[in-house]
């Protein structure tokens, strides 16, 4: 399992797999955070690099943009379900910031699907793993970031 040190999103993963940076709130990742090293065994794609935030609402637009600028093929934020966010509206705030970056990508003729917000139940379930798998499949279809090789 790979972790980003804050602000450093240089690829450390297999170059043949899409490089995906995931910003996950402590609560939606909590069920797995006790045993993160075992995630690959449970089907969590190894190409997804995790950054755990105290709350998804802590994500900033610039961190999302910099992750992309520094080489990520895809980015996602995983937070609590809208109505059960531990910090009341953290995941709603995170979604607005993801939407802002989607709009920026659209204006730059970059596929907005390269960034996504997932709202995941805080109860132990596979949503945390499924979001990573869905994003990996999506980015595989889209191909490498248009910034690669430029």
Partner 1 sequence: MIVGQRKPIQEIIGMLKGIKNILILGCGGCATVCSAGGEKEVEILASIIRIDRKKKGGPVETKEKTLARQCDTEYLEELKDEVDKYDAVLSMACGVGVNFLADMYPKTIILPALNTSFMGVSEEQGVWSERCAGCGNCVLDKTGGLCPVARCSKHLLNGPCGGSQNGRCEINPDIACVWQLIYDRLKGLNQLEKLQEIFPMKDWSSSLHGGPRKIVREDLTL
Binding residues for partner 1 (CB under 8 A)? 60-62, 65-66, 68-69, 104, 107-110, 146-147, 150
Give whichever of 5 and 107 is closer to partner 1, judged by the CB atom: 107
| Rounded least distance, CB 103 to partner 1, Å | 9
Taking the complex as a whole, the smallest distance from the CB of residue 19 to partner 1 amounts, in Å, to 15
User: Which one, 17 or 71, has the nearer CB to partner 1?
Assistant: 71
> What is the rounded CA–CA span in Å between residue 1 and residue 147?
25
Q: Of 77 and 131, which CB lies nearer to partner 1 in the complex structure?
A: 77
Q: Report whether 69 contacts 104 (CB < 8 A).
A: no
Minimum distance between the CB of residue 65 and partner 1, rounded to whole angstroms? 4
Beta bridge partner(s), residue 115: 75
Nearest Cα to 115, choosing from 133, 95, 130? 95
- Of the pair 71, 133, the CB lying nearest partner 1 is at 71
Report the distance separating Cα 9 and Cα 25, nearest Å: 18
Tokens of 128: 């945390």
Q: How far is the CB of 146 from partner 1 (least distance, A)?
A: 5
Supply angle C-alpha 24, 145, 37, rounded to 5: 35
């Amino acid at each position: 399992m790979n972790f980003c040190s804050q602000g450093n999103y240089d690829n450390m993963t297999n170059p043949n797999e899409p490089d995906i940076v995931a910003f996950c709130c402590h609560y939606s990742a909590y069920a797995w955070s006790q045993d993160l090293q075992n995630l690959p065994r449970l089907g969590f794609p190894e190409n997804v690099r995790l950054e755990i935030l105290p709350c998804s609402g802590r994500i900033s637009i610039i961190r999302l943009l910099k992750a992309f600028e520094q080489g990520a093929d895809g980015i996602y934020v995983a937070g609590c379900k809208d109505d059960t966010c531990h910090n009341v509206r953290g995941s709603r705030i995170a979604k607005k910031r993801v939407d802002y970056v989607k709009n920026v990508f659209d204006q730059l003729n970059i596929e907005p699907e390269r960034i996504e917000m997932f709202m995941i139940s805080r109860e132990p379930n596979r949503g945390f793993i499924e979001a990573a798998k869905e994003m990996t499949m999506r980015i595989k279809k889209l191909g490498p970031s248009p910034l690669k090789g430029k």
